[in-house]
Chains A and B, each alone.
Chain A
């Protein structure tokens, strides 16, 4: 909205042309989302507390988590409000990619919200059944995959790009692209949800990965940079940098309230939505493998659950003391803060590796 206003004002005052630069709008989106989250956060936490929307803590989890019971949850709605308002303010609203990412994020958020609402407000411990939740995620993922697949106008935009190798790109075709998009969006959404088990553990990697994806979006959407760095040029993808800026800002401000000891948890409404947003952006900018690398913590957390379940079903033995992996380290004696900050450090390293693929190819 502000872009249109700036363009209108720029007819008389040329200084307003500065707002047409994506880089500046991305930074301003980040700051705007930060301020919105800081402003709305305390109000929302008070509301959630007064409505007694508190987290229930599983009694089969680590004992150290029992004091967390009653901490307000569904704080992810705060992130979503900040991201949506900021994106509507700073992004080019004629851009289709921005709308696709916004709608996917909000749709996954809605699924998470229903699940949280049933669990926390209606006190139904089952919430949304795993099967129903997965069915909704799949439906949204498939629709998003179709929309993205039929928005592409060049074969290069549906190629599977292998980082570090300039000349290796596999043409996926429409069906292959849709299947892969579905797996990336739904997989990332669930991976972030599984990781969201300690204070600040899921949000900080989301912030870092989102910022890095913003760089990839900017490069992919810039004809000169894309050609220079050997990326496929994706018209309009640059505008996603504004969304990524908003997501990073909102996430960072949310961390203010979510840092140990957390005043609020994001809940499924936040975790599912943030994961889906990262997955959708990665697919649009053709950087699925880079997302896989940068989101290594999410990947390993998910694998730990899969391996634990498979091992217990097949052999009756557990591989980890507890899954997801962060609980394993807690039970090994690491403090919650140590697990969280160490996983952040690992993510920072992985994001750097991901960013190095900009040039190393």
Chain B
């Protein structure tokens, strides 16, 4: 069961990888998610003053 799950996850990852490769992009989502989070934190911080 576990192996099957892992298979699913890797199949998804492969698909995402292929899709991003097809679009000419590299596979670096973790750091990009961190960057998006940092941007959202910044927007949150700006509400300190913008009210």
Contact = CB atoms under 8 A, between A and B. Distances in A.
Interface of A: 18, 21, 23-24, 27-28, 30-31, 34, 200, 252-253, 255-256, 259-263
Contacts of A252: 35, 38-39
A300 B42 CA distance: 30
Nearest to B39: A34
B35 A256 contact: yes
Contacts of B45: 27
A89 B19 CA distance: 38
B22 interface: no
B50 interface: yes
Interface string B2-43: 000000000000000000000001111001100100110011
A85 to B, nearest CB: 18
A31 B42 contact: yes
A24 B35 CA distance: 20
Given A23-B49, A252-B35, A261 B28 contact: yes
Nearest to B38: A252
Contact of B31 (A30, A31, A200): A200
B15 to A, nearest CB: 19
Nearest to A46: B24
28 contacts: A18-B49, A23-B49, A24-B46, A24-B49, A24-B50, A27-B42, A27-B45, A27-B46, A30-B42, A31-B39, A31-B42, A31-B43, A31-B46, A34-B39, A200-B31, A252-B35, A253-B35, A255-B31, A255-B35, A256-B31, A256-B32, A259-B28, A259-B31, A260-B31, A261-B27, A261-B28, A262-B26, A263-B26
Given A259-B28, A263-B26, A28 B46 contact: yes
A262 B48 CA distance: 35
Given A18-B50, A31-B42, A256-B31, 19 more contacts: A18-B49, A21-B49, A24-B49, A27-B45, A27-B49, A28-B46, A30-B42, A31-B46, A252-B35, A252-B38, A253-B35, A255-B31, A255-B35, A256-B35, A259-B32, A260-B28, A261-B28, A262-B26, A263-B25
A278 to B, nearest CB: 19
A261 B39 contact: no
Nearest to B36: A256
Nearest to A21: B49
